């Protein structure tokens, strides 16, 4: 005969165990919906570095090609280094900053469209960007043809201006490569295909090193041949990325060439121009610094020293610029998907991680200030001048570990036109009057700009930004004829 007490106890335990099981499943679901902060940071870090990691490599190799070219020129002589520095940092630099900024319109449009799963629009945006940037390249050609008289007019020594003008003419093919490369990079970046860009840049980098060694050291062809190697290397990058995109690497986002790319160009041009002005105002300030040094005593040494510092800063700047790209894509993707909280969290993680890297480089510059210029030159006066500028260089790098990330938030959110006015005021209405060729830029331009962007970002209503992004995506992709 069964025990009645045991049966009653079993009947009581069964519902109790079922309740415990359901409670446990509920807690597990809540944990999945609201993971711990460390888990959220790790997940966001993996998403961010999927973009940032290959972007750092790609940007480093691209920039290093310029650095290698200047290093080869520097070992030809101080005049050759000054001429190459002016041609690449000022003439190409002015052009580079504008075109890079204009291409960043794709980070907003492609990033938000990708987040909203409107994939077909990415290929249309890419073609529109090619059209707009190529037209801009044609409009900028006088800068290259008349480089020598322009440089003389702003106070550069005659010998430096004339040799810089010759190098600038050699750089015209490089100039047009930007109109193709920058949109392709952002098109792929918005789809998290940065690894393709990294592989192509690696090939171009290897070719560049080998050609530089062959033409300069083995054949002794001089400064013009040194400059010409950049043309070939950058067009290898264009060819590699182009073949990947049109050859089937992006089947959802590239559906072939379309006449729709010519529709809505005016609206696209306005956004591209806002993006270009936003980034180039800051970029141009650095170039103006180098031009201003041409009016100083011992101008060749001054130009060489500042150019070396700008190259080191530019080299390290590839890291925060990669965070700029990663932040722009992450913010745009989250806003396009209607997730304002996700965009806010991506911003916080990106700023913190970039700041840590900036602190590491700040310490390295402070520790090795006497040796950092040896890669570019063995001239004792230039080495001494660079050592004196190292403190400013270190603080520039530290500030630049934050500012580009906040600019990336602006690009991802579509705030380019507002930030363009901020950059204009900070660098040219605050930085220049403060005085000092470099100190005015750091403590006036970059510091004030960073503070303003930080305040805007902190006060941002992210849910409202997500709603606006959804509206914009729908507006720009209602049909292929609108834009």
Tell me the per-residue pLDDT of 150-201, one tens digit each, with 9 for 90 and over.
Answer: 888 877 788 888 888 898 999 999 999 999 999 999 999 888 888 899 999 9
Tell me the per-residue pLDDT of 354-407, one tens digit each, with 9 for 90 and over.
Answer: 999 999 999 988 888 777 777 777 778 878 877 877 877 888 888 888 888 888
pTM of the entire predicted model: 0.76
Residue 451 has pLDDT above 80, yes or no: yes
Tell me the per-residue pLDDT of 89-113, one tens digit each, with 9 for 90 and over.
Answer: 788 888 887 888 888 888 888 888 8
Q: What is the structure's pLDDT at 26?
A: 40
Nearest to 415 by CA among 424, 403, 406: 406
Q: What is the structure's pLDDT at 290?
A: 59
Q: How many CA atoms lie within 13 A of 258 on its CB side?
A: 18
- Domain membership flag for residue 1: no
- Domain membership flag for residue 70: yes
Q: How many CA atoms lie within 13 A of 90 on its CB side?
A: 31
**Coil, strand or helix at 297:** coil
Residues in the chain: 483
Considering only residues 472 and 409, tell me which one the structure prediction assigns the higher pLDDT: 409
**Coil, strand or helix at 31:** helix
Q: What is the structure's pLDDT at 32?
A: 45
- Domain membership flag for residue 483: no
- Domain membership flag for residue 122: yes
**24 — pLDDT class (breaks 50, 70, 90):** very low
- Which residue in the block uniquely carries the two structure tokens 């470099």? 438
The DSSP string of 137-168 is HHHTHHHHHTHHHHHHHTT--HHHHHHHHHHH
Spatial separation of the C-alpha atoms in residues 303 and 290, rounded to whole Å: 6
Spatial separation of the C-alpha atoms in residues 482 and 93, rounded to whole Å: 33
- Domain membership flag for residue 14: no
Tell me the per-residue pLDDT of 198-233, one tens digit each, with 9 for 90 and over.
Answer: 999 999 999 999 988 888 777 777 788 888 899 999
- Domain membership flag for residue 353: yes
- Domain membership flag for residue 317: yes
Residue numbers of the domain that contains 295: 39-476
Spatial separation of the C-alpha atoms in residues 423 and 426, rounded to whole Å: 5
- Domain membership flag for residue 17: no
**Coil, strand or helix at 437:** coil
Which residues contact residue 302 at a Cβ distance below 8 angstroms, ignoring those fewer than 6 apart? Answer: 293, 294, 296, 385
* pLDDT, averaged across the chain: 80
Tell me the per-residue pLDDT of 314-339, one tens digit each, with 9 for 90 and over.
Answer: 778 888 888 888 888 888 888 888 88
Q: Provide the number of structural domains found in the chain.
A: 1
In percent, the amount of the chain with pLDDT more than 70 equals 81
Tell me the per-residue pLDDT of 248-301, one tens digit each, with 9 for 90 and over.
Answer: 888 988 988 888 878 777 877 877 777 777 666 666 666 666 566 555 556 667
Most confident of the following: 2-16, 278-292, 338-352:
338-352
């Amino acid at each position: 005969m069964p025990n009645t007490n045991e049966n009653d106890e079993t009947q009581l335990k069964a519902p109790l165990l079922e309740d415990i099981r359901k409670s446990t499943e509920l807690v597990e679901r809540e944990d999945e919906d609201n993971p711990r902060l460390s888990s959220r940071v790790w997940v966001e870090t993996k998403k961010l570095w999927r973009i940032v990691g290959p972007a750092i490599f790609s940007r480093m190799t691209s920039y290093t090609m310029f650095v290698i070219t200047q290093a080869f020129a520097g070992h030809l002589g101080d005049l050759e280094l000054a001429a190459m520095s002016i041609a690449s940092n000022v003439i190409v630099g002015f052009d580079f900053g504008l075109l890079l900024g204009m291409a960043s319109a794709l980070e907003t449009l492609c990033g938000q469209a990708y987040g909203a799963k409107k994939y077909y629009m990415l290929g249309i945006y890419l073609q529109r960007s090619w059209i707009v940037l190529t037209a801009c390249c044609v409009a900028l050609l006088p800068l290259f043809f008349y480089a020598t008289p322009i440089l003389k007019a702003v106070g550069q020594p005659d010998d430096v201006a004339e040799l810089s003008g010759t190098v600038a003419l050699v750089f015209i093919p490089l100039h047009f490569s930007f109109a193709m490369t920058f949109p392709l990079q952002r098109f792929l970046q918005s789809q998290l295909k940065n690894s393709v860009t990294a592989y192509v840049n690696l090939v171009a980098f290897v070719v560049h090193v080998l050609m530089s060694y062959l033409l300069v050291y083995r054949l002794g062809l001089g400064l013009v041949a040194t400059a010409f190697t950049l043309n070939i290397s950058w067009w290898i990058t264009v060819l590699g990325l182009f073949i990947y995109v049109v050859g089937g690497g992006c089947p959802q986002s590239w559906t072939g060439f379309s006449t729709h790319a010519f529709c809505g160009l005016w609206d696209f041009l306005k956004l591209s121009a806002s993006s270009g002005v936003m980034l180039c105002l800051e970029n141009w300030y650095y170039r103006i610094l180098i031009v201003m040094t041409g009016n100083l005593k011992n101008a060749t040494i001054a130009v060489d020293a500042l150019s070396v510092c700008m190259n080191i800063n530019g080299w390290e700047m590839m890291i925060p610029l990669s965070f700029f790209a990663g932040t722009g894509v992450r913010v745009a993707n989250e806003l396009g998907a209607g997730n304002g909280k996700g965009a806010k969290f991506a911003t916080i993680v990106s700023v913190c991680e970039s700041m840590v890297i900036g602190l590491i480089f700040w310490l390295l510059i402070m520790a090795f200030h006497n040796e950092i210029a040896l890669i570019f030159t063995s001239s004792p006066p230039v080495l001494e001048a660079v050592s004196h500028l190292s403190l400013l260089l270190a603080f520039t790098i530290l500030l630049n570990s934050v500012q580009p990330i906040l600019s990336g938030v602006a690009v991802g959110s579509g705030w380019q036109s507002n930030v363009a006015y901020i950059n204009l005021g900070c660098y040219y209405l605050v930085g220049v009057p403060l005085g000092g060729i470099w100190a005015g830029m750091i403590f006036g331009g970059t510091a004030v700009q960073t503070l303003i962007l930080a305040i805007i970002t902190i006060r941002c209503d992210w849910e409202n930004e997500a709603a606006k992004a959804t509206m914009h995506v729908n507006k720009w992709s209602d049909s292929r004829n609108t834009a």
